[in-house]
Amino acid sequence: MAQSRAETLRYVTGATINTLDLTMFGSTREAFGLSMNVYDRLFRFGRKKVADYWVFDPDTITGELAKAYSISPDNKVITITLRPDATWHDGTPVTAEDIKWSLDRAVSAKSLAQPQFTTGSLTSVDQFKIVDPQTLTVTLEKPDRLALANLCVPYAIMINSKLAKKNATAEDPWAQEWMKTNTAASGAYIVESHKPGESTVLRRNEKWVGGPGGALPNFKRVIIQTVPEPATRANLVERGDADLAIDLAAADLPTIETSAKAKLVSMPQTNGFTHIAMNTQLAPFDNVKVRKAIAAALPYEDMFKAAIFGRGKKLYDGTWSTTPPDASFPQPIPNKTDPALAKKLLAEAGYPNGFSTTFSFNVGAAATAEPLAALVKEALGKAGIQVEIQKKPDAEFNTLASERKMPFFTDGATAWLPYTYYFFYLYFTREQRWNFASFKSTKMEELTLDARYQTDKAKYDDDCVKMIEIFGAETPLIMLWQPNHDAAMSKSVDGYTYQFYRQADFRDLKRV
């Protein structure tokens, strides 16, 4: 073996890396994680310490392949200078031509990148212009506040265009087929072997210049191994045979915390939320009083303890009434358990004797959703609402959610770009998969539209506060909590950072 065990990071995961090109439809979260380590983007989010742990910071954006950038006074032109010493894995230099091709691919090829980029008003190849071999500009029609942030997301990979073009065909001009199993990257790690569903081995790119201060990552080799059974993953870390695991079963976490060889890093998923959604277009949930009655009937404390063992941040018990204290979101909403109020609201809504409905969740989330559903059923039963629990396989649940056929269900979500405006744009406007509650509000649409192109910080914050007010008044869905992101790792591993795409970034990790 070329590298010693200490220089190797063994990461065990339950899922499969199903593609090396994460912009492919159906790519898994594990594929996102791999791509962040193998491909560079133009920019990246910084990280900050929250309590004892590192969390990504969407408010500091620094260059990865970009050495520097400037934004024109009207906020419409971003000028990007590339790192002069950056090279692709095959040794050829990174040029503005490659970058333009990569950006063109993101907005032209049918992929997951295309819809993501529209959220930053990046839609046409004409927006990307080469100035000289080291410089290019991105021009926006309107000053979209998320343009730059979109260049940090996992989909915004920068590709070795000469290599990719060599493997493109007439039907597949963007080499999408080839890139599923091959890489044309410049990132910190190089894929040494890739067996989907078994293991993927990475070796450090010794010529990587995209790191903070040009530093190379600490681990020379990374082995990503698929181990489907969560208990086995926990055992492996506990015994010190594996170095890192995320997405463990809650029941295994206390053992890790007290283990001699392993430690647990837990922090709330600052960009996520677990919720109970009500279909605001279907009776009886089209009545705001019914929604508020449900919000008053739920036993939040019990749910918080039973479902996630209190491992997270509460998004209920807010102390405000109509206007939130600040423009941040998700933040605690003033929902409290109050059965008397629930009964009163139901009577006012015209359902003094309650009604019957179904409550759905997906099998994949059963560990937390099952106890939650049982408590919902019990609490609502006391208010006269008969609830039938429906447990759906993941594919079916997704289809039903997409077709808006479930009246009442629980689900979770995480936003890649955790800005208040983006949360409301993504989850509470338009008829699309992520508008869980099928919420329709002209005022909300107007506010998100204004916030999107708003360059005045005070006005933007004001828009956001108003969005939260509408949310509080209308209660389209009930915020429950931000569950913790738990990463179990060997005691010698340090520097783990919670990333917005909820995967391990090996570049931050080191053995101490």
Indicate the residue among 103 and 223 with the shorter CB distance to another protein: 223
Beta carbon of residue 1, minimum distance to another protein (angstroms, whole number): 7
Shortest Å, Cβ 425 to another protein: 11
Other Cβ atoms within 10 Å of 105 Cβ, number: 25
Stretch near another protein under the rule CB under 8 A, chosen from 20-28, 53-61, 333-341, 436-444? 20-28
| Distance from the Cα of residue 219 to its chain's centroid | 25
Of 32-51, binders to another protein (CB under 8 A) are: none
Closest to another protein by CB, 10 or 44: 10
Q: In 10 A of CB 433, how many CB atoms?
A: 12
d(CA 124, CA 139) in angstroms, rounded, equals 10
363 in contact with another protein (CB under 8 A): yes
Euclidean distance between CA atoms 47 and 14, whole angstroms: 26
Q: Which of 90, 198, 257, 446 binds another protein (CB under 8 A)?
A: 198
Q: Quick one: which segment of 88-96, 138-146, 207-215, 227-235 binds another protein (CB under 8 A)? A: 227-235
Q: Which of 304/421 has CB closer to another protein?
A: 421
Cβ nearer to another protein, comparing 86 with 426: 426
For residue 42, count other CB atoms closer than 10 A to its CB.
25
Candidates 9, 12, 78, 148; binder of another protein (CB under 8 A) is 12
Strands of 382-468, DSSP E: 386-392, 408-414
Binding flag, residue 375, another protein (CB under 8 A): no
Which segment (11-19, 76-84, 137-145, 304-312) binds another protein by CB under 8 A?
A: 11-19
Strand, coil or helix: 305: helix
Give the residue, chosen from 107, 112, 147, 149, that forms a contact with another protein under the rule CB under 8 A: 112
Whether 42 contacts 257, CB under 8 Å: no
Binding marks (x or -) toward another protein, 376..415, rule CB under 8 A?
A: ----------------xxxxx-xxx-xx----------xx
**10 lies in the binding site for another protein (CB under 8 A):** yes
CA distance 377 to 385: 8
From the list 219, 334, 205, 264, the residue with the least C-alpha distance to 491 is 264
- Choices 111-119, 209-217, 256-264, 486-494; region in contact with another protein by CB under 8 A: 111-119
Q: What is the nearest approach in angstroms of another protein to the Cβ of residue 194?
A: 10
Which residues is 497 bridged to in the sheet?
Answer: 54
Long-range contacts at 427-435 (CB < 8 A, ≥ 24 apart)? 428/467, 428/471, 428/476, 431/404, 433/398, 433/401, 433/402
Which residues bind to another protein, rule: CB under 8 A?
Answer: 1, 5, 8, 10, 12, 16, 18-19, 24-27, 110, 112, 114-116, 118-119, 180-181, 195-199, 223, 225-229, 231-232, 235-236, 238-239, 241-242, 363, 392-396, 398-400, 402-403, 414-416, 426, 431-434
